Amino acid sequence: MYAPQGVKTSPKFPIPDTMKAWVLGGPGELSLKDKAVPVPKRAEVLVRIDAVAICATDLEIIYHGPPASIQGGPPFNKNFTPGHEYMGTVVALGPGVDEYRIGQRITVEIHAGCGQCKRCREGMYTACHNYGLNYGDVDKGHRANGFTTDGGFCEYQVNNINTLVAIPDEMSDEEATLVVTAGTAMYGLTELGGLVAGESVVVTGPGPIGLLGVAVAKALGAQPVILTGTRDNRLKIGLELGADFVVNVKKEDPVEAVRRLNGGKGVDYVIECSGAPNGVNEAARMVNRGGKICLAAFPHEAVPVDIAHIVRNNINLYGIRGEGKSATHRAEAFMSQKRFDATKIHTHTFPLEDLPTAIHYAKDRVEDAIKVVVKARGVSAAHKVAAE
């Protein structure tokens, strides 16, 4: 039975020596295999994974490789387990850990910076200078679970204590997987100005981050909040999450619509979550002079940007990666206080052993899937369960 030297465990949470884990072979090839349960080091805990949400970045990694990088290259055929938006229960403590207790429910951030480089010391651990340099050799202290080290499509995973966010017992497993998504939106608003009460905000792209971007902006007091996109059903969810106005870009010019809805002038902030080729240029024409744009998504190809317009109008651009500067803690606080209902974007749940079907639903948007969750326990049969 699992009993590594120096690691604290509890008989209330017995841990096997091996676990089931999905392993990436070639592009798009996932197989369920046995892996050794990992061992936490100093400042780390072992998490029993209870639920994992599927992110669009997971799909990029599974089918194309980047932005994951294992052993200095693409993650294919290297015994790599993807998945990064997970929550679970602390079941073992590494040496010296007393910040969390065994049996505590938590959700996780992706990145644990090295703690030594300039960016980590500034709190920008998602921009750690050692990111991608160790490729699984965690002696530097850096981890990016599901990117440079094994992720969460399995039964157990190691996490640095700095990546943990305690959650209340009242929060469901499915909702807890969404904290990191809300945290990304929160990080964007933190970089744009933090306190946005009374500021006008546009969110472009009603994917999971965009929809929760609407919710976070409204919870912070933004007025108005405008959501743009191409799918009326998702725009409707945006209204339910707090958007004052929605714009279907297939039916009207989004720049003209935004200016009309904001009294004929540009808005203060734009959170660009669409990744559309024209996303940056449209955002630059939606903001007022001196406005700010957060780039939270990225096009698949290099795109031309009207730099002259940005310079002439003193527009500020901010790129964010993930959920930095402890934004997940602030997002969790909002969710625990019921400032918004993140579960509105959760549409389907599958058991962990049915991960390929879950990926199919997420990738091909079957039944208009938005956020698909897989659970290691608590879901019987290999059939999907639609969210109520």
Outline which parts of the chain fall under CATH 3.90.180.10: 18-179+326-386
Give Cβ neighbours of residue 271 (< 8 Å, ≥ 6 apart): 185, 188, 189, 192, 201, 202, 203, 204, 210, 213, 217, 293, 294, 296
What pLDDT score does 322 carry?
A: 84
Strand-pair category, 201-204 with 225-229: parallel
Q: Alpha-carbon distance 176 to 317, whole Å?
A: 30
What pLDDT score does 378 carry?
A: 66
Percent of the chain with pLDDT over 90: 80
Mean pLDDT is lowest, of 43-57, 184-198, 353-367, for 184-198
Residue 135 in this model has a pLDDT that exceeds 90: no
**Among the listed residues 206, 114, 219, 109, the one whose alpha carbon sits nearest the alpha carbon of residue 165:** 109
Fold of 18-179+326-386: Quinone Oxidoreductase; Chain A, domain 1 (3.90.180)
Mean pLDDT is lowest, of 142-151, 304-313, 343-352, 360-369, for 142-151
Between the alpha carbon of residue 249 and those of residues 95, 206, 270, 276, the distances in Å are 54, 12, 15, 12
Give Cβ neighbours of residue 263 (< 8 Å, ≥ 6 apart): none
Outline which parts of the chain fall under CATH 3.40.50.720: 182-319
In the DSSP assignment, the letter for residue 227 is E
Mean pLDDT is lowest, of 130-144, 190-204, 277-291, 311-325, for 130-144
What integer is the mean pLDDT of 359-388?
Answer: 78
Q: What is the DSSP annotation of 266-281?
A: -EEEEEE-S--TTHHH
Mean pLDDT score of the chain:
92
What pLDDT score does 381 carry?
A: 43
What pLDDT score does 383 carry?
A: 42
Confidence of residue 377 (pLDDT cuts 50, 70, 90): confident
Mean pLDDT is lowest, of 17-31, 48-62, 151-165, 314-328, for 314-328
Between the alpha carbon of residue 209 and those of residues 42, 94, 268, 367, 372, the distances in Å are 33, 33, 19, 19, 14
Q: Alpha-carbon distance 316 to 266, whole Å?
A: 14
Question: What would the pLDDT profile of 249-259 be if each residue is shown by its tens digit?
Answer: 999 999 999 99
What pLDDT score does 130 carry?
A: 81
Using DSSP, state whether 29 is helix, strand or coil: coil
Question: What would the pLDDT profile of 88-124 be if each residue is shown by its tens digit?
Answer: 999 999 999 999 999 999 999 999 998 889 999 998 8
What pLDDT score does 10 carry?
A: 97
- Strands (DSSP E) contained in the chain are 18-24, 30-36, 44-53, 85-93, 105-108, 111-112, 143-144, 156-160, 164-166, 201-204, 225-229, 245-248, 267-272, 287-295, 316-319, 346-351, 371-375, 385-386
Residue 260 in this model has a pLDDT that exceeds 60: yes
- Cβ pair 30, 24 in contact under 8 A: yes
Question: What would the pLDDT profile of 199-243 be if each residue is shown by its tens digit?
Answer: 999 999 999 999 999 999 999 999 999 999 999 999 999 999 999
Strand-pair category, 30-36 with 18-24: antiparallel
Residue 325 in this model has a pLDDT that exceeds 50: yes
Three-state SS string over 127-172 comes to HCCCCCCCCCCHHHCCEEECCCECCCCECEEEEEHHHEEECCCCCC
Q: What is the CATH number of domain 182-319?
A: 3.40.50.720
Burial of 85-113, coded b for 16+ CB within 10 Å and e otherwise, reads: bbbbbbbbbbeebeebebebbbbbbbbbb
What integer is the mean pLDDT of 133-154?
Answer: 79
Give the orientation angle of helix 279-286 with respect to helix 254-261, to 10 degrees: 30
Q: Alpha-carbon distance 334 to 159, whole Å?
A: 23
* Strands of 201-204's sheet in order across: 245-248, 225-229, 201-204, 267-272, 287-295, 316-319
Tokens matching residue 252: 């009207």
Residue 384 in this model has a pLDDT that exceeds 60: no
Q: Alpha-carbon distance 361 to 54, whole Å?
A: 10
Tokens matching residue 197: 């009460």
The region that residue 118 occupies, defined by phi over 0 for left and psi between -120 and 50 for alpha, beta otherwise, is alpha
What integer is the mean pLDDT of 9-32?
Answer: 97
**Among the listed residues 24, 26, 18, 43, the one whose alpha carbon sits nearest the alpha carbon of residue 100:** 43
What pLDDT score does 387 carry?
A: 44
Give Cβ neighbours of residue 105 (< 8 Å, ≥ 6 apart): 50, 87, 88, 89, 166, 167, 168, 169, 171, 176
Q: Which residue is associated with the tokens 């106005």?
A: 245
φ, ψ for residue 118, nearest 5 deg? -60, -45
